[in-house]
Structure 1
Amino acid sequence: MSTIADRYRVRADAFESKVAAVKADQWENRSPCEEWNARDVVGHIVDMHGVMLRPFGRALGPAPSLQKDPLGAFRAARADIEAVLADPVLAVTEHETPTGKMTAEQHIDRVVSADMVVHGWDLARATGQDDTIDPEEVARMLPDAEGIPEEMRIPGAFGPGIVVLGPEVKVPDDAPLQDRLLGLMGRDPNA
């Protein structure tokens, strides 16, 4: 298994544990993502798993309803992506992405895998869970976050209705690395 597949598994395990810990009466709780509740955060992650499959003419397989079983919906989407990562040919197949040509595993790593880290924080915040991001993840992701082009923050730059990132939230220069990462990702770590 590749390092990317291993990293995906660790991130998916962490996200899944947060989904599993959401209580039935918390799914409508507001998240730090404007206009999204806790269920919407999971729905976004499930949807992005589907986006990763499109370049290969694939779609998400049969899954439980997000409304009735968010955990089951996530597990099914996860299995679809893990099948791509486990396929030695498909994982290294290149395709065009909005940021250039990448292999399937590179695209998964940079988009949906990384998304689970930040949206895991969103879900934890929405549902009163521990919102600490693994410090190794923060250190790994911070350099890329510092280089986010401004066009990624323009609503609709990648198509109608698509918002990749919100405006940067300024944090003090001496803020903890997690807070700096969150600010770069458009989140107020103190909200």
Structure 2
Amino acid sequence: MKTISELLEETAAHAVPVVRGIDDTQLAAPTPCGDYDVRALVNHLSMVVDNFRILAAKGEPDFSRTEDAVTGDWRDRFDEATTLLVKAWAEPGAEEGVSGGMKLPARTVGFMVLGDLVVHAWDLARATGQDYEVAPAVVAELLPEVAAMAPQAREAKVYGPAFPLPPGATAFEQVLAETGRDPGWRAPRP
């Protein structure tokens, strides 16, 4: 079993290049994530990364933040923010006890941010025509956590209804389907 920090580090190594690969002309493109276009999803993911760094330190996050993160050197800032997220979850005690504002087991909260980073990086890659890989070790640890969180996440409207999969779906396709995504989603052609 890997630490949350190790899992986040492996995921960030694949997610950051996706964010760096987004062209400004693609910011209004639709994504597999419901009502979010690329810009809105980058803003959301940036807010998540910042707030879950605070949660790793048992702090009180501000999920009401709405400023536009997609300004100036936003790609570099996202890279720096994910580095800080990995470091925050590597601190002694980060995975122990209860998180700050969420009042959930800290390791569960760590899997929440891992799931967001994995799935939203996939959303952004699909929306912008990029390749995206997830380390098999990350998927192996994430799938049971996503499945366990799914009922409550659906009730809170964080996940959509589970997407039906054919037999033989990969573990990563199962992760995506649990969150309500169609693993076969492709960006509409112009």
TM above 0.5, yes or no, is: yes
* SS of aligned partner of 1:147: helix
CA shift in 2, pair 1:97/1:107, >3 Å = farther
Aligned positions, number = 177
**How do residues 1-191 of structure 1 correspond to structure 2 at under 5 angstroms?**
3-52=3-52, 53=54, 55-57=58-60, 65-89=69-93, 91-92=94-95, 94-96=97-99, 101-103=104-106, 106-154=107-155, 157=156, 163-191=157-185
CA shift in 2, pair 1:190/1:66, >3 Å = same
Which aligned segments of 4 or more residues in structure 1 are displaced greater than 6 angstroms? none
> After alignment, is 28-37 or 126-135 more displaced?
126-135
Q: Which has the higher contact order (CA 8 A, sep 6+)?
A: 2
Q: Which amino acid is the alignment partner of residue 47 of structure 2? A: D
| Superposition TM-score, scaled by structure 1 size | 0.76
* SS of aligned partner of 2:98: strand
State the identity %. Answer: 27
Residue 28 of structure 1: how far off its partner (Å): 1.6
* SS of aligned partner of 2:120: helix
CA shift in 2, pair 1:57/1:185, >3 Å = closer
Asked if 2 retains the 8 angstrom alpha-carbon contact of 1:12 and 1:113, the reply is no
Please list the CA deviations of residues 94-146 of structure 1 after superposition, one character each: whole Å capped at 9, or x if unmatched: 3357886423xx25521112211111110110000114433333333222333
In structure 2, what is the Cα distance between the partners aligned to 1:145 and 1:58?
22
* SS of aligned partner of 1:145: helix
In structure 2, what is the Cα distance between the partners aligned to 1:140 and 1:72?
28
* SS of aligned partner of 2:105: strand
More strand by share: 1
In structure 2, what is the Cα distance between the partners aligned to 1:125 and 1:141?
20
| Superposition TM-score, scaled by structure 2 size | 0.76
Structure 2 unaligned runs (5+)?
63-67, 186-190
